[in-house]
A and B are shown apart, each in its own frame.
Chain A
Amino acid sequence: MMGTMKDGRPRSLLAIVTMVVLALLWTVPTIGLLVTSFRAREDVASSGWWDALLNPFGAGWTLANYERLFESTTAGSSLLNSVIVAVPATVLPIMFAAFAAYAFTFMRFPGRELLFILIVAVMVVPIQVAFQPMLDLLGPRGLGINGQFVAVWLLHTGFGMPLAVYTLRNYMATLPNSVIESAKIDGASHFQTFWRLAAPMSMPAIAAFATLQFLWVWNDLLIAKLFLGGGANKTVIVDLQQMLGTQGQGEELLTAGAFLSMVIPMIVFFSLQRFLVRGMTAGSVKG
């Protein structure tokens, strides 16, 4: 297993061992959750999940938690709601932020620096202080769209934009200026330059931000609860929180529900992962 890596450097045994140990440590809580989700309520109360792993044949595994999750709760429809919330809430801020980032990087207009500083400044405004005014604006006293998907799309777009503009602008600033200049010389409009050059070349940054934004929107409880509510449009995270009884009855469903809610973010993460590592700019200035 020793030997050398693709680029010729020798492999380090120490690094391999450390990485494996770290990875295991990092996933211990998740493994515990997974094991617990397959155990009955009394077993969970009477012994730790590691006991089940040490004695896998006498542990009394059960699928009952997952069965009940699908049969007696609304987890299925709220999972769909989460997708309906998360996809536009990821695409919209990135689309607008990419336009803005292009403008900030490659276009000259008065007040450019000031506007950019303003956007960076907005990043430090904590989201919590904006809730009450936003509730007034979107609620029955204002637009009256509270509880509809469009309310959370707007919110996530608004609060995701500053960081998106900032990261994308910084990434675009590192793109070779000569490429953009040669496009200008060839007579490309800003629209063409953006779609043909800036956007594809910024794919690593866009993908990185999309992953983060998607995970944040997916796992969000506060905004979903305040602006979408617990009614028919509730997201899977809000739904999980509603599954408990007065004294926490039904806790065993939470572990199964938590795993179910992880599946889609995992798919998103692994499908976008290749963009995160691929460098798009390599060799683009040649010829």
Chain B
Amino acid sequence: MDRRPSRRTVMAGTAAAAAVGMTGCLQNPDPSRGGGGGGSEKYTEGEVPGPGSVSVLGAFGGQEEEAFMASLAPFEEETGISVQYTPDQDFTTTIQQRVGSGDAPDVALFPQPGGLFDLAAQGHITAIDAFLDYDALNSTLIPGFLDSARYQGRVYGAPMRMACKSLIWYPKKAYEEGGYATDPATMQELYSIADEIKDTGITPWSDGWNADQATGWVGTDWIEEFMLRVHGPDVYDEWIHHRIPFNSPEVVEVFDIVGELLKTDGNVLGGPTTIINTPFSEAPLPLFEDPPRAMFVRQGNFVTGFFPEDILANMDEEVGVFAMPTWEGGFEGQPILGGGDLAALFTLNDDSVALMKFLTSPDFGAEWAQAGGWLSPHKTFDTSHYADETTRRVAEIASSAEVFRYDGSDVMPNAVGGGSFWTGMVEWLNGSKSAQQVCDEIEAGWPQ
């Protein structure tokens, strides 16, 4: 009998070894053995009694704050702990300043992981494995979410809200009247639908990049979406973590692909100048005019909040949405680009731990889901809580994604992800710089 292992088993063996290796490096180090950062010991309830209230700092105010507080009401009632929430538009600066002056909140909700890593490196944040059941959390979350909050092997924040960005919105009535397909399998198919729309005299796409001092972030999303689709998640990870240079040929190629879509005459309403001058929140408005002046908008789930009131009133009849399809000849699986608010713990005591457990559980957010504009990062969240079918559809798109990746510009250093990448996108779109020039400049400005 031939004892030589077949090629097939060798392959399987290698794959298994690779998988084990992967798990090894992704696995959370055993907290009892201790790791970097603050609070390496496993926290047991009762160690530090809570003062009966927990202060929380977050970035969202207004109606979102109301919905957040409404979702916390059952927790406050049940435990008797009161939650003092403070919203701050300038969260990133405020959290640094408050921690710096010894006035850190008990829990902070980071809109981007960047600031979280800074404070984790200084030892102000307790890693979540010290007080949460890491494996249980990881099993209900959309895969890959916790990795976005990983710093030197340990995870410092747990998501309590998700944003799903890879969505294409269309005006349902007009679109179905036109008889266009609602399930393009590839971007190329979508392009041919767009050409059909163009032939009827309607501009297929509408887009808006303006966001005052943050103008350009919509553009970074376009590049990230296509990086994921054309080159796949592995190259994407290397790119956002700067293991390949920003001006590598893959990135420049993606700029050119996006440019073909956005810069071609008649593809996008008004052309590049209008894109740059239109606030991102106003990009969907031409879709809901009668007759529509455009058919597609690519934007995250949060854009629904900016739809006209009468559209919002009958979301399910008026608005259609599908996942941004894959790229033919690129990565095969359906990738989803997203973001999320990460809850991080500064003060370790019974009350703040109880709040963290509640915020990061799949049961949190029923009230917020009802109010709208919120997605649970958990696959196991009860979707019947969402206010409409459209949101349920978005939640389904997000949880059935084969690959989930965190918005790259939020992971990159702030000088790039909140600076040169934004301005570079604008300079590239208005034609004052070529893709190569922009990528070279961003690479040159990457903090060492």
Contact = CB atoms under 8 A, between A and B. Distances in A.
A44 to B, nearest CB: 10
B309 interface: yes
A245 B63 contact: yes
B61 interface: yes
Contacts of B309: 40-42
A25 B65 CA distance: 38
Given A245-B61, A247-B305, A230 B88 contact: yes
B60 A136 contact: no
Contact of B60 (A42, A45, A245, A253): A245
A249 B305 contact: yes
A131 to B, nearest CB: 8
Interface stretch (A30-38, A152-160, A236-244, A271-279): A236-244
Interface stretch (A80-88, A102-110, A139-147): A139-147
A246 B282 contact: no
Interface in A217-259: 225-226, 229-231, 241-250, 253
Interface in B268-308: 279-282, 285, 302-303, 305-306, 308
Nearest to A247: B302
Nearest to A239: B61
Interface string A180-222: 0000000000000000000000000000000000000000000
B101 A139 contact: yes
A226 B64 contact: no
Contact of A230 (B62, B86, B282, B303): B86
B63 A246 contact: no
A150 interface: no
B293 to A, nearest CB: 11
Contact of A242 (B88, B100, B102, B305): B88
A244 to B, nearest CB: 6
Contacts, number: 90
Contacts of A92: none
B122 interface: no
A226 B94 CA distance: 8
A221 B87 CA distance: 14
A249 B62 contact: yes
Contact of A46 (B87, B94, B285): B285
A135 B101 contact: yes
B326 to A, nearest CB: 27
B373 interface: yes
Interface in B25-61: 59-61
Given A136-B102, A231-B84, A245 B305 contact: yes
Nearest to A146: B103
Contacts of A72: 63, 66
Interface in A40-69: 40-42, 45-46
A243 B62 contact: yes
B97 interface: yes
A13 to B, nearest CB: 41
B89 interface: yes
B101 A246 contact: no
Q: With a 10 A CB-CB cut-off, give which of A41, A131, A249, A250 has the most chain B CB atoms.
A: A249
A140 B102 contact: yes
B101 A42 contact: no
A244 B308 contact: no
B101 A141 contact: yes
B216 interface: no
B418 interface: no
B365 interface: no
A250 B62 contact: yes
B111 interface: yes
Given A231-B86, A244-B61, A246-B64, A139 B102 contact: yes
29 contacts: A41-B309, A42-B285, A45-B281, A46-B285, A135-B97, A139-B103, A140-B101, A140-B102, A141-B101, A141-B102, A146-B103, A225-B94, A230-B86, A230-B87, A230-B88, A242-B86, A245-B60, A245-B62, A245-B63, A246-B60, A247-B280, A247-B281, A247-B302, A248-B281, A249-B63, A249-B64, A249-B305, A250-B61, A250-B63
Given A244-B62, A246-B111, 4 more contacts: A40-B309, A72-B66, A139-B102, A242-B87
